[in-house]
Amino acid sequence: MTIDLRSDTVTKPTPDMKSAMFAAEVGDDVFGEDPTVNKLEEKCAALLGMDSAVYCPSGTMTNQIGINVLTQPYDEVICYKGAHIYKYEGGGLMGNSHVSVKLLAGDRGRISVDEISQNINNDDQHYPRTSVVALENTVVREAGSFYSLREIEKISAFARSRSLHMHLDGARLFNALIASGDKASDYGKYFDTISICLSKGLGAPVGSVLVCKKEFAKKARRMRKVYGGAWRQAGFLAAAGI
């Protein structure tokens, strides 16, 4: 047996996943008619205590859509300096959403209320408008350091007191939940958009889900189309995710 530790993305689907894929009922997801995709989206929204979800081909796409729906061009996003959304998505934030970033040092990637509060721009025409705080949990570039929900609660309360939206790159959120013992369904309270990957720690072959508040779901679906990610009978893949 070969043990390949390059990435959790090289895992192969289990026999159960393959059977679920073969047996999946499918339809055209662009028409909202793929029952398996709909089931996956409902399951993910309920799991994280949020209203809506949009199934997408990749975690990069769910992050890019998440930031896009929460910002206007010329806004600024606050995140850790090694955050995936900034460092490993090909400059997508700038190209797709026309936003700048304020990069924080963090403690192994975990940014604090203190750091965030010192980096919100004053409402002044010279500065980009700070509009989003983006967290990553676990933090991929910091060997999987994680936030507990208690820390997130503080950051979210502060962000909301300053009218900032909250995005989570939760590519490996389920690893953080195991490490912290926190409940998945509490997460929805603290974020506007959450990206989770099925193709990483969870072992599915393809796919990520943007879980979000209802008010952002329609635009998220529109942006998935714009980014070329509105797929057809994606239920074959969603079945493995379920």
Ligand X SMILES: Cc1ncc(COP(=O)(O)O)c(C=O)c1O
Minimal distance in Å, beta carbon 131 to ligand X? 20
Contacts of 133 (CB under 8 A, 6+ apart): 77, 78, 79, 111, 116, 155, 159, 164, 165, 166, 167
Strands 208-212 and 52-56, bridge-based pairing: antiparallel
Contact between residue 149 and residue 168 where contact means Cβ atoms under 8 Å apart: no
Sketch the per residue contact string, 170 through 209, with ligand X: x for CB under 6 A, - otherwise: -x-------------------------x-x--------x-
Under the binding rule (CB under 6 A), the answer on residue 110 touching ligand X is no
Under the binding rule (CB under 6 A), the answer on residue 29 touching ligand X is no
Residue whose CB is nearest to ligand X in the complex, by number: 59
Stretch that binds ligand X, among 42-50, 55-63, 118-126, 184-192 (CB under 6 A): 55-63
Stretch that binds ligand X, among 14-22, 58-66, 121-129, 211-219 (CB under 6 A): 58-66
Q: Which of 36, 52, 60, 71 binds ligand X (CB under 6 A)?
A: 60
Stretch that binds ligand X, among 31-39, 59-67, 127-135, 225-233 (CB under 6 A): 59-67
Q: Which of 84, 102, 165, 221 binds ligand X (CB under 6 A)?
A: 84
Residues in the interface with ligand X (CB under 6 A) total 12
List phi, psi (to 5°) of 231. Answer: -105, 170
Contacts of 55 (CB under 8 A, 6+ apart): 29, 37, 40, 41, 207, 208, 209, 234, 238, 241
Q: How many other CB atoms are found less than 10 A from the CB of residue 124?
A: 7
Under the binding rule (CB under 6 A), the answer on residue 59 touching ligand X is yes
Indicate the DSSP class of residue 30: G
The residue among 40, 35, 92, 31 whose CA lies nearest residue 67 is 92
* Dihedral (CA of 182, 188, 191, 195) sign: positive
Q: Which of 38, 58, 112, 180 binds ligand X (CB under 6 A)?
A: 58
The binding site for ligand X (CB under 6 A) comprises 58-60, 63, 84, 136, 140, 169, 171, 197, 199, 208
